[in-house]
């Protein structure tokens, strides 16, 4: 099975009322933990790479790790650029073998977002690659970009048809109250399902993407804090809300922070309990196993894509 685009995956997910997990990858243990889980669950999969991940691990290393995962699992896997911020970055990923890219022009005025997104779509489609655009702005932190709550904005349903039609994007990321990172809600978690419903009505059958969808499991935060960490008030998106979104038009759910928490909690625990340990395999191995356990839970109990490969 070669790398695939998300086209077929999204069509089946939309019709089946489930979502595909898009997990961020930064190193070998993360790729292995995620793909071992997907193999065991027989789930279609999106592995996504941010500009920061590409800088950290190198494009070629990440591609080769993902190619290895395809050989090992035989699964349909898409490789996606997460939050591409320029035509040049998207082009470099398309030329380098990615099957899907995101061009995130959500911080731009509407007309400029349309122009940049269309430029990426024209190049991507000419090379058999699909494109995710974004309308509306999530709060939170990603790499060097920190969007304050004041600068965040829900997606305006009045803009979605024109944006999709003029750009030709294959999927659309929207802002309905999720945010990036581990600190998503101060009080009660709230998502604007009314906006999602309105967008779904205006774009029937069109795949919607939810960013900032980590649930920030309390057990990981507790473990991190028990072993020397300091994560006050971390809060994520409740799983029942993600299941509801997946049953609607949301076909791709982005998860990164939960992987980071699983990995960090495990490493902190192993090292605290074994202070003399200095073999990286002794803490990266358990971290990889914990990622596998977490992703299995997401595939079966949250996304609903287990058994759909």
In whole angstroms, give the CA distance from residue 100 to residue 18: 20
Total number of residues that touch ligand G3H (CB under 6 A): 10
Task: Select the residue interacting with Zn ion from 54, 184, 211, 298 (CB under 5 A).
Answer: 211
* Per-residue b or e along 261-273, where b marks 16 or more CB atoms closer than 10 Å to that residue's CB: bbbbbbbbbbbee
Q: Pick the closer one to ligand G3H by CB: 210 or 306.
A: 210
Q: How many residues does the chain have?
A: 309
Q: Is the separation of the CB atoms in 55 and 33 below 8 Å?
A: no
For 66, the token pair is 């993902």
180 contributes a contact to ligand G3H by CB under 6 A: yes
At 80 the three-state DSSP class reads strand
184 contributes a contact to Zn ion by CB under 5 A: no
Task: Select the residue interacting with ligand G3H from 36, 134, 142, 170 (CB under 6 A).
Answer: 142
At 69 the three-state DSSP class reads helix
Q: Pick the closer one to ligand G3H by CB: 118 or 180.
A: 180
Contacting range for ligand G3H; rule: CB under 6 A; set: 46-54, 220-228, 268-276, 284-292? 46-54
Q: Pick the closer one to ligand 13P by CB: 35 or 254.
A: 254
- The torsion angles phi and psi of 8, rounded to 5 degrees, stand at -65, -40
53 contributes a contact to ligand G3H by CB under 6 A: yes
Could you give the C-alpha distances from 73 to 1, 62, 110, 144, 308, in angstroms and in order? 9, 16, 41, 34, 14
Contacting range for ligand G3H; rule: CB under 6 A; set: 34-42, 48-56, 60-68, 116-124? 48-56
24 contributes a contact to ligand G3H by CB under 6 A: yes
Pick one of ligand G3H, ligand 13P, Zn ion, none as the site partner of residue 213 (Cβ within 5 to 8 A by kind).
ligand 13P
Rounded to a whole number of angstroms, the minimum distance from the CB of residue 24 to ligand G3H is 5
Strand partners, 235: 183
Q: Which residues are catalytic?
A: 82
At 70 the three-state DSSP class reads helix
132 contributes a contact to ligand G3H by CB under 6 A: no
Q: Pick the closer one to Zn ion by CB: 100 or 266.
A: 100
Pick one of ligand G3H, ligand 13P, Zn ion, none as the site partner of residue 255 (Cβ within 5 to 8 A by kind).
ligand 13P
Residue with tokens 């990286």: 280
């Amino acid at each position: 099975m070669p790398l695939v685009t998300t086209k077929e995956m999204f069509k089946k997910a939309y019709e089946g009322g489930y979502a595909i997990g898009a997990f961020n990858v930064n190193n070998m243990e993360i790729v292995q933990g995620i793909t071992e889980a997907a193999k065991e669950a027989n789930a279609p999969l999106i592995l996504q790479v941010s500009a920061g991940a590409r800088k950290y691990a190198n494009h070629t290393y990440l591609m080769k790790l993902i190619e290895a995962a395809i050989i090992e699992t035989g699964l349909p896997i898409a490789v996606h650029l997460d939050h591409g911020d320029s035509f040049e970055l998207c082009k470099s990923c398309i030329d380098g073998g990615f099957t899907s890219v995101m061009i995130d022009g959500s911080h731009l005025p509407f007309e400029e977002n349309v122009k940049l997104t269309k430029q990426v779509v024209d190049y991507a489609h000419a090379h058999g690659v699909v494109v995710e655009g974004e309308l509306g702005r999530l709060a939170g932190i990603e790499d060097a970009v920190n969007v304050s709550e004041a600068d965040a904005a829900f997606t305006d349903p009045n803009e979605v048809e024109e944006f999709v039609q003029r750009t030709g994007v294959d999927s659309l990321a929207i802002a309905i109250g999720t945010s990036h990172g581990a600190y998503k809600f101060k009080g009660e978690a709230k998502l604007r399902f009314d906006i999602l419903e309105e967008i779904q009505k205006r774009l029937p059958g069109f795949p919607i993407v939810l960013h900032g969808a980590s649930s920030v499991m309390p057990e990981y935060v507790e473990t991190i804090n028990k072993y020397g960490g300091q994560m006050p008030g971390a809060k994520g998106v409740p799983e029942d809300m993600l299941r509801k979104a997946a049953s609607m038009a949301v076909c791709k759910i982005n998860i990164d922070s939960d992987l980071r928490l699983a990995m960090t909690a495990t490493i902190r625990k192993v090292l605290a309990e074994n202070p003399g340990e200095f073999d990286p395999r002794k803490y990266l191995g358990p971290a990889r196993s914990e990622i596998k356990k977490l992703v299995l839970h997401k595939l079966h109990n949250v996304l609903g894509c287990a058994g759909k490969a």
